[in-house]
Amino acid sequence: MLHHDDLLCYMIGVSPDNIPGVGTHYDLINRFWLEDPDIEKDRQVSLHPFKRKPRKKLAKNQKLPPRHPGIIQKFVDLALQGENFESRPEKLFQQIFAYVAVRPSAEAGILGDTEKL
């Protein structure tokens, strides 16, 4: 799109004659993304595991048994022990956005009363 829209080029701070390649975008994202690439790859692979269809048909008003019984109790126990499940690789992007966009908007009064947000 940048090759066809000079306004977009100027908005991101590049000249229409000197547009960076697509790989530059991904290099920038990788530098700010705060997650180990190996862990991210494992998570992406595990997000959509292959699932077989159930072999037997269930009777009317009958449900499949839980695949992982007790999993919720395990999470509850870990939470009560103080374990943290937070994984926010985008956190640095959010901090940059808050610093360059949200804070100036709040100081200019564009967001209204920030104590009531």
At position 96, the amino acid (one-letter code) is I
Reported pTM = 0.48
- Over residues 74-81, the mean pLDDT reads 88
Residue 62 banded pLDDT, cuts 50, 70, 90 = confident
pLDDT band at 107 (very low <50, low <70, confident <90, very high): very high
Burial class (CB in 10 A: 0-12, 13-18, 19+), 46: exposed
Q: CA 114, CA 117: separation in Å to the nearest integer?
A: 5
Q: pLDDT band for position 49 (50/70/90)?
A: low
d(CA 99, CA 19): 26
Q: What does the pLDDT average to over 84-106?
A: 86
The pLDDT score that the predictor gives to residue 54 is 67
> What's CA 72's distance to the chain center, in Å?
23
Lowest mean pLDDT among 34-38, 68-72, 95-99: 34-38
Q: Which sequence spans correspond to the domains of the chain? A: 21-46+87-117
Beta-carbon contacts of 3 under 8 Å, excluding residues fewer than 6 positions away, are: 16, 19
SS3 53: coil
What digits encode the pLDDT tens for the residues 29-44? 888 888 887 877 777 7
Contacts within 8 Å (CB) and 24+ apart, 71-79: none
Q: Quick check: 104 pLDDT over 90?
A: yes
115, 61 contact by CB (below 8 A): no
